[in-house]
A and B are shown apart, each in its own frame.
Chain A
Amino acid sequence: MPQNNSLLKSVDWVVVIVYVTLVAFGWFNIYAANYNPENPVLFDVGREYAKQLLWIALSGVIIWVIFMTDSKFYVAFSYFLYGLSVFLLFSVIFLGKEINGAKSWFEIGPVRFQPVELAKVATALTLARIMSRYDFSFKKTSNLMRVGLIWMLPVICILLQNDTGSALVFFIMVLPFYREGLSGNVLVFALIGAVVSVLTLVYPNVIILAIIIASCFVFLAFKIQYKFIGYALFFGIIGFSVSYIAFKVLGKDIRLDLFTLVGAIFISIYLAISGLNKRLKAILPAIVFMWGAIAFTISTDYFVEEILSEYQRNRINVLLGFKDDPLGAGYNVNQSKIAIGSGGFLGKGYLDGTQTKFDFVPEQSTDFIFCTVGEEWGFAGTALVVGLFVFLMIRLVILAEKQHSVFSRIYGYCVASIFFFHFSINIGMTIGLAPVIGIPLPFFSYGGSSLWGFTTLLFIFLKLDTNRSELIR
């Protein structure tokens, strides 16, 4: 089998080894999360680790199928796959089974399947295909519209399923877009937009954030005049400090939001005066934007806190993907941080965790599997996992850049970005750096759908990579 021999030779074994390591390590942690120290049973077929072993075995089949398929197939069938997945995403809204408030699962007999996993692959392929056309440019409105439409259809369907976490994954496509020529400002925009929309509802004193955003835009507006911005910020800090000291001296309760507001007023005054002096036209919109942002955050806060009933507020939180948290704000994250933090440098030892055993941590084998790593393997284990993921993502980007075919490159970026999003949100939420959005950690979290989805994503790229010197169309 000469073809197979060359295939084995051209496969990027580094990525494969990382993949196998992650999956194996993931399985051991699922085992640990299911392990009951009071009733130690070596292997129980009914438990999650047993099923996960089956899913892993089936992943091998998937990998084999992917490698046996010609690379051209993925280009040719990308539209079909996309159409199929959008159809499935749409029909699951009506036919799906509701789990954790989201109607995103098909259930056929004992088999459960989440079409969003297929949609990730299909959307990545389709975007790669459209954007790899030789005359493609983001500067063309028609191209932009087409990409936007391809991107938006699955997102809308997923939102209708009430599976906000998964919908958010698609936003990370901004990275491949950026690589392919979308303006860098959009990246900044997207980042700021994400930060505002999420943090406004998560944290109090959000005005501080609004100020950051505002200054970002001041930066954009006066890209050249750094000195100007420096002065503005300087005045802002003065305003903040003065009010802070005044409150301190008067013995009043510290109100950071109020101080920030004072700082913002100082900035505006400075900007307005120097803007008038130097006849800078961009000043006015900048100020208007800043105050708009401030008004927005305050009113969102006010709207959510004061006007909405508790029931409605919960609905909004669920809609935004924040897990229903009946035990009080931050309970899950706190438990998760305690579990990870208690691991120390080398961990408590495999199967010796306590926090991830007695159900203190929620969803301990799925969304919060990273806690088991943290508790039992310590910083050594978590650093290894973080390191492996970053290595994998960088490796994928490097491989993508080596592709002769633009299609493969774009697809590679999509894969790396999707991993990146899952990686940052999942681990971020377990250590309190990201909001609690229930999305799995690739290769680690228990579940067939997600494991197969990530495996498919990765190995289609590895398959494309075996033909890296060819032009795939």
Chain B
Amino acid sequence: MNRRTIVVALIFISVGIAFLIKLFILQVYDPSYKYSAESNTRREIINYPARGLVFDRNGKLIVSNQANYDLMVVPRELKKMDTLSFCRGLNISKDELKELFREMRSKLKRRKISSIKPSVFYKQLSAEQYGYLQEKLYKFDGFFVQRRTLRKYEYPNAGHILGYIGEVGQSTINEDDYYITGDYHGINGIESTYEKFLRGKKGYEYVLVDVHGREKGAFRDGHFDIPAEAGKDISLSIDIELQKYGEELMANKIGSIVAIEPATGEILTMISAPTYDPSLFVGKKRAANFATLNQDTLMPLFNRPIMALYPPGSTFKPLNALIGLQEGVITPESKYECYMGYSVGSFHLGCHSHYSPLDLRHSISNSCNAYYCHVFRNIIDQSKNSSVQDGFELWKNYLVRFGFGYKLGVDFANEKRGFVPNHKTYDKIYNKSWSSLTVVSLAIGQGELLATPMQIANLGATIANKGRFYTPHIIKGIENDTIPSKYKTIRETNVDSTHFRPIIEGMELAVWGSDGNTAGIARIPDIRICGKTGTAENPHGEDHSVFVAFAPKEDPKIAIAVYVENGGYGSRYAAPIASLMVEKYLKNEIHPTRKWLEKRMLEGDLIHASE
């Protein structure tokens, strides 16, 4: 045979062999096309489970769910349709519909959505829209309605604690296989922290469809269907009534209230003022409301209890006293003179007028600055320390053990750590030549120190517990599950419990003392409340009013810290509010003799008055 004949025959044969190889790979060797075929004729219908409910510590329902429907679209299945009736169904104008389609096309172009998979066309249909569309939907190829659940808030309170639900972002989708575009997840607050419990498990139902998306019955008799698992309910440690009361007291004020149950570390209330109604973040109006709140100069979205940093002020004195006792540089009986302050050479740190000299207990109740300058310098300059740096580190380590300078580990992602300087800070500022006198303002909680209200409340709880605490947390229980073990582990400080007695007595005297007290206004009939006022210096205006307290003195049930920005002395706003909160929590009502105080606090306006 001719050579050219063979060439032609070989061309035919080689194409045939190439086809056979490719067909073998396609049909026999590579199984992926079989799965594609299934997914082609099979539509996955996602059943979104109901999100877990949220209860307060007394079993009161705080957050529940409401049904909601999204209009979904599969772009490839779209057909010519009666847009007029469609618009009427959605109750939107023709231009709005055009805009929706334009958006869809642009997302398709940018490959944000797939043309063969469902994506959200119109979010959160109203009841009327849903009713109308459900009837007419068969007319509009490519559209279907997806049921979802939205949050429903039973109280207009605790917005910062609860967080909210929103659509997942691309980064979340990349990190967690569970999510697909258009899913919702918890953002902020406990919705975010306990997302994995609350979300439940999506269910999948498979139905056969033809190329037009018409359902042709269950796929393999529903053999592969996976039922949705409802999210787990959780209980929070907050008392929603107390939370509500606290928010009312803080109305028209800026600041925080944090109350902790000392025996467990459970957060009883956590108030950030000004606050917002969590319902504002439900549904379509969320974006607009978020923008409004975000632009508010009072920063209502700022979660002050765990994010705001203040100098602790005089509330810090009990801690310095405890360190002094533990180090043995003072005894409860130690007395120090105060001449309207603390003076060394030309240095003078002022104090208010009170009798002198004072012992430890009365130094707390009278909040004597000079006393703590002595205590602080005794700690730093004691002979066992080879240098001021060593002394400073010794002091600092106590603070860290009490939960300052680092995140406490509360169940909120955005907690701030506060600030406790170390000796290097001052080496830098003072070029290594500094002494205990240079930084003596730390003795009274001023200077570089910064702490969150949560850390101060935790200090109150630690004193109430005589030197130990549980990491403050807001989770109390998870349905069929246990709360994280770190909230069950006690944390010891390095101050012996025996040293707490005089401190507690000093704090008792601060409220109840007859020979000079700083917080007599906090007295509650029948409840032995112990507290310590503070005034955080504020270079920008009126000082911040601070009060840390716990009650009752024996077997304390509540520790509380109150910050009222620009509230002046601790006894002016913080102490009354704290005492009202304690009374409300322990007695459930305010004693008639204190109604005037309650009224004054409720009506106090520190925002609009100053304008």
B76 and A338: CB pair below 8 A? no
Q: Please name all residues of chain A whose beta carbon is closer than 8 Å to the beta carbon of B34 when the two chains form the complex.
A: 341-342, 344
Residues of B within 8 A of A432 (CB): 22
Interfacial chain A residues near B115, Cβ < 8 Å: 327-328
Q: Which residues does chain B contribute within 8 Å of A343, judged by CB atoms?
A: 27
- Chain A contacts with B in 392-443, Cβ cutoff 8 A: 393-394, 397, 401, 413, 416-417, 420, 423-424, 427-428, 431-433
- The smallest beta-carbon distance between A370 and chain B, in angstroms, is 10
Q: Smallest distance from the beta carbon of B229 to chain A beta carbons, Å?
A: 31
Known: A337-B33, A341-B33, A360-B211. A386 touches B4 (CB 8 A): no
Instruction: Name the residue among B7, B16, B20, B24 with the largest chain A CB count within 10 angstroms.
Output: B16
Q: Pick the contact of B20 from A38, A327, A358, A383 — CB < 8 Å?
A: A383
Cα separation A387 to B17 with both chains bound (whole Å): 9
Asked if B30 is at the interface (CB within 8 A of a chain A CB), the reply is yes
The binding surface of chain A is classed by DSSP as: helix
Q: Which residues of A contact B1 (CB under 8 A)?
A: 401
CB contact list, B116-135 vs A, under 8 A: none
Taking the complex as formed, is A133 at the interface, i.e. its CB lies under 8 A from any CB of chain B? no
Contact yes or no, B11 A175, CB < 8 A: yes
Residues of B within 8 Å of A328, CB to CB, are: 115
User: Are the C-beta atoms of A340 and B40 separated by less than 8 Å?
Assistant: no
Cβ contact of B23, chosen from A184, A338, A374, A397, cutoff 8 A: A374
Give, as a whole number of angstroms, the nearest-CB distance from A366 to chain B: 17
Asked if A178 and B16 sit within 8 Å, CB to CB, the answer is: no
CB distance B13 to A390 under 8 Å?
A: yes
For B24, B32, B40, B212, which residue has the most chain A Cβ atoms within 10 angstroms? Answer: B40
The closest CB in chain B to the CB of A353 belongs to: B37
Q: Given A338-B37, A340-B33, A355-B41 in contact, is the A393-B27 Cβ separation under 8 Å?
A: no
How far, in angstroms, from A32 to B162 measured CA to CA in the complex? 59
Q: Which of B7, B12, B19 contacts A394 (CB 8 A)?
A: B12
Q: How large is the interface on B (under 10, 10 to 19, 20 to 34, 35 or more residues)?
A: 35 or more
Q: Is the CB of A383 within 8 A of B36?
A: no
Contact A358 B27 (CB under 8 A): no
Number of A-B contacts (CB under 8 A): 121
CB distance from A291 to the nearest CB of B (A): 30
Q: Is the CB of A344 within 8 A of B28?
A: yes
With an 8 A cutoff between CB atoms, is B67 at the interface?
no
> Taking the nearest CB of chain A, how far is it from the CB of B213, in angstroms?
10
Q: Choose one: B16, B20, B27; the contact of A378 (CB below 8 Å).
A: B27
Known A-B contacts A359-B210, A360-B211; A397 and B27 likewise in contact (beta carbons under 8 Å) = no
The distance in angstroms between the C-alpha atoms of A413 and B11, with both chains bound, is 13
Those of A166-190 within 8 Å (CB) of chain B: 175, 178-179, 184, 187
Q: How far is A383 from B25 in the complex, measured between Cα atoms in Å? A: 12
Q: Which of A341, A394, A413 meets B37, CB within 8 Å?
A: A341
Residues from 331 to 387 in A contacting B, C-beta threshold 8 Å: 335, 337-345, 354-355, 357-360, 374, 378-379, 382-383, 386-387
A444 at the interface (CB under 8 A from B): no
Is there an interface contact between B16 and A389, defined as CB atoms closer than 8 Å? yes
In the bound complex, what is the Cα–Cα distance between A427 and B22 (angstroms)?
Answer: 11
Expressed in whole angstroms, the Cα–Cα distance for A416 and B11 within the complex equals: 12
Please indicate which of the listed interface residues B11, B33, B41, B115 has the most CB atoms of chain A within 10 Å of its own CB: B33
CA distance A382 to B25 in the complex (A): 12
Given A394-B9, A397-B9, answer yes or no on A341-B26 (Cβ-Cβ < 8 Å): yes
> Given A178-B4, A337-B33, A355-B37, is A345 in contact with B23 using a C-beta cutoff of 8 Å?
no
Q: Determine if A358 and B16 form an interchain contact, defined as CB atoms under 8 angstroms apart.
A: no
Question: A residues within 8 A CB of B211?
Answer: 358-360
A341 proximity list for chain B (CB < 8 A): 26-27, 30, 32-34, 36-37
| Cα-based distance from A189 to B22 in the complex (angstroms) | 26
- Which residues 295-344 of A have a CB within 8 angstroms of B? 327-328, 335, 337-344
B12→A179 contact, CB < 8 A: no
Say if the beta carbon of B216 comes within 8 Å of chain A: yes
Determine the distance from Cα of A354 to Cα of B30 in the docked complex, in whole angstroms.
19
Choice from B7, B8, B40 contacting A335 with Cβ under 8 Å? B40
Which of A175, A358, A424 is most buried by chain B, counting CB atoms within 10 A of its CB?
A358
Chain B residues with CB under 8 Å of A175's CB are 8, 11
Q: Tell me the bound Cα distance from A428 to B14 in angstroms.
A: 13
* Known A-B contacts A339-B37, A360-B41, A433-B19; A413 and B12 likewise in contact (beta carbons under 8 Å): no
Whether A431 lies near B19 (C-beta < 8 A) is yes
The distance from the CB of A32 to the nearest CB of chain B, in whole angstroms, is: 16
Option from B8, B23, B32 in Cβ contact (under 8 Å) with A386: B23
Cβ contact within 8 Å between A401 and B5: yes
The closest CB in chain A to the CB of B10 belongs to A394
The residues of A that contact B33 with a CB separation of less than 8 Å are 337-338, 340-342
With the chains together, A383 CA to B26 CA distance in Å?
Answer: 12
The size bracket of the interface on A is: 35 or more
Residue of A nearest to B41 (CB): A354
Residue of A at shortest CB range from B108? A328
Given known contacts A327-B115, A420-B15, A431-B22, A340 and B27 CB-to-CB distance under 8 angstroms:
yes
User: Is B18 among interface residues, defined by CB-CB distance under 8 A?
Assistant: yes
Contacts of A431 in B (CB 8 A): 19, 22-23, 26
Tell me the complex Cα distance, A400–B28, Å: 36
> In the assembled complex, which residues on chain B have CB atoms less than 8 Å from the CB atom of A179?
2, 4-5, 8
When distances are taken between beta carbons in the complex, the residues of chain B under 8 Å from A360 are 40-41, 211
Bound state CA distance, A420 and B37, in angstroms?
Answer: 30
- Nearest residue, chain B, Cβ from A375: B37
Q: Which residues of A contact B208 (CB under 8 A)?
A: 354
Picked from B5, B12, B15, B23, the residue with its CB within 8 Å of the CB of A340 is B23
For B19, list chain A residues within 8 Å (CB): 382, 386, 424, 427-428, 431, 433
Question: CA A184 – CA B211 in complex, angstroms?
Answer: 48
Task: Given A328-B115, A342-B33, A397-B12, answer yes or no on A358-B41 (Cβ-Cβ < 8 Å).
Answer: yes
Given A178-B7, A358-B211, answer yes or no on A420-B12 (Cβ-Cβ < 8 Å). Answer: yes
B26 to A390, Cβ gap below 8 A?
no
| Closest residue of A by beta carbon distance from B19 | A386
Using CB atoms, name the residue of chain B closest to A378: B27
B258 to chain A, nearest CB (A): 47
Is the pair A338, B13 in contact by a Cβ cutoff of 8 Å? no
Given A344-B34, A360-B40, A386-B19, verify A178-B27 contact (CB < 8 Å): no
Considering the complex, give the chain B residue whose CB is closest to the CB of A358: B210
Give A374 to B25 CA distance when docked, in angstroms: 12
The residue from A187, A379, A423 contacting B24, defined by CB atoms under 8 A apart: A379
The minimal Cβ–Cβ distance linking A371 to chain B, given in whole angstroms, is: 11
A171 → chain B closest CB, angstroms: 14
Name the interface residues of B184-231: CB closer than 8 Å to any CB of A: 208-212, 216
Q: Chain A contacts of B209 at CB under 8 A?
A: 358
- Interfacial chain A residues near B8, Cβ < 8 Å: 175, 178-179, 397, 413, 416-417
A11 to chain B, nearest CB (A): 23
Q: A378-B27, A420-B15 are in contact. Are A401 and B2 (CB under 8 A)?
A: yes
A461 to B417, CA, bound (A): 91
Q: Which residues of A contact B9 (CB under 8 A)?
A: 394, 397
- In this complex, the member of B18, B27, B28, B41 whose beta carbon has the largest number of chain A beta carbons within 10 angstroms is B27
Contacts of A354 in B (CB 8 A): 37, 40-41, 208
Residue of B11, B27, B36, B210 near A374 (CB, 8 A) is B27
CB–CB B40/A394 < 8 A? no
Residues of B within 8 A of A386 (CB): 16, 19-20, 23
Q: A340-B33, A379-B23 are in contact. List 15 more A-B contacts (CB 8 A).
A: A178-B4, A179-B5, A337-B33, A338-B40, A340-B26, A341-B26, A359-B210, A379-B27, A387-B16, A397-B5, A397-B8, A401-B5, A416-B8, A420-B15, A431-B26
Q: List 29 A-B contacts (CB under 8 A).
A: A178-B4, A184-B7, A337-B33, A338-B33, A339-B37, A340-B23, A341-B36, A341-B37, A344-B28, A344-B34, A354-B41, A355-B40, A355-B41, A358-B41, A379-B28, A389-B16, A390-B12, A390-B16, A393-B12, A394-B9, A394-B12, A401-B1, A401-B5, A416-B8, A420-B15, A428-B15, A428-B19, A433-B19, A433-B22
Nearest first, the 5 closest Cβ-Cβ pairs linking A and B are A341-B33, A342-B37, A358-B210, A390-B16, A359-B211
